[in-house]
Copies of this chain bind each other. A is one copy, B any other.
Amino acid sequence: MSGSVSPLAPKTFAEMPALRGVRMATAAAGIKYKNRTDVLMMLFDRPASVAGVFTRSKCPSAPVDHCRQNLPGGIARAVVVNSGNANAFTGKKGREATRLTAEAAAKAVGCSEAEVFLASTGVIGEPLDATKFAGVLDELAASATQDFWFEAAKAIMTTDTYPKVATRSAEIGGVKVAINGIAKGAGMIAPDMATMLSFVVTDADIAPAALQALLQAGVEPTFNSVTVDSDTSTSDTLMLFATGAAAGDGQAKVEDAADPRLDGFRAALDDLLRDLALQVVRDGEGARKMVEVTVEGAENDAAAKRIALSIANSPLVKTAVAGEDANWGRVVMAVGKSGEMAERDRLAIWFGDIRVAVEGERDPAYSEAAATAVMQGETIPIRVDIGLGSGRATVYTCDLTKEYVEINGDYRS
């Protein structure tokens, strides 16, 4: 954990209500950190539907392999998460550690190992001593409570400077349901999917296949559209669980993601995912400004997103933002290097509401003072019109500061 809280941190945190059907507990197992919690256990009172999306890294962590293997079962009873060690690139020892942890959790909960999901975050390549879990999981299972979301978010932090929580509610067929989520960043954040870890739970009664479809659609404009440093983690894990407790209020189980009864739920879920994803960006390592890059007029949406990511990941754009320099020439550079169709003489660029370039050159009405005023804000909107088609995408990132270099150069985070 860094010493000082991000200047972009939320002024207040969401009040996290208890959510029926799930309980949590945390422990300080001394995996790497001292004097803080580093293990989270999440328990479902009854088998919950589960959906998940994971890193596209070709070298995923052992817990990611474990979750991918269990996901087709569609049922979760417990989740165990640790911070301080990613259990990635740990070979056979890593697989042994996930096996031991799942076994201990299954025993503590009284379920099958196939119903246990795992996630680890922290240093890559150091063996994870799973015996550190053995002593605490029984105790965690016994002491878990519903009203523990904020503590849960704190236990999974690494270089995060604040815990990330969000809550929403919706109606399914006239029955009120809730959605709670937690996430952690804060570096090695790039699509797809830029979250490191996030766990979202609803008390709605939704079948696993429908839940998976909802999550896959929801992740695209949210966690898959944020980047801190273009570096994709080996551990990225976003899981969505449905405890089904709302069935007790008469909510009829939804089997199909296209069911119109899910419209309100889908909107609430997407909104919550966006909230958590932006909290991750706003806590990007060393971040002092948030940048919202919108590309429109591209050949298609995928091209627009690639151009937006080229801008959002450009060190020269990000350092210019850090320096409050309205250096739109670097935006041109990033469009040009993206490899996507672009015609210099059709490009237009805005910083906030200030159009700085149009038709391949500086806007005739360009005002350095007006552009600089935009750069001095906390959120920097950059908009580019490619002028070729109707493709559109928005991507979120933060600036690149000396603090990012310090955080990542000065110790093994």
Contacts and interface: CB of A to CB of B under 8 A. Distances in A.
Interface of A: 55-60, 86, 88-94, 123-127, 187-188, 190, 229-234, 313-316, 319-320, 322-323, 325, 327-330, 332-345, 347, 357, 359-362, 400-402, 404-406, 408-412
Nearest to A229: B315
Contacts of A359: 91
21 contacts: A58-B335, A58-B339, A58-B343, A58-B344, A59-B332, A59-B336, A89-B357, A89-B361, A91-B361, A92-B360, A94-B361, A125-B361, A127-B362, A230-B314, A231-B334, A233-B333, A234-B333, A325-B412, A400-B409, A402-B402, A404-B405
Contacts of A233: 333
A333 B232 contact: yes
A319 to B, nearest CB: 4
Nearest to A406: B402
Contacts of A55: 336
Nearest to A89: B332
A329 B123 contact: yes
A321 to B, nearest CB: 8
Query: Chain A: interface secondary structure?
Result: loop
A332 B125 contact: yes
A232 to B, nearest CB: 4
Copies in the complex: 2
A314 to B, nearest CB: 5
Given A125-B357, A190-B337, A332-B125, A405 B322 contact: yes
Given A125-B329, A344-B89, A361-B127, A319 B231 contact: no
Given A234-B332, A361-B125, A409 B322 contact: yes
A400 B340 CA distance: 27
A141 to B, nearest CB: 30
B323 A124 contact: no
A344 B92 CA distance: 11
Nearest to A325: B412
B402 A316 contact: no
A341 B94 CA distance: 21
Contacts of A335: 58-59
Contacts of A320: 408-409
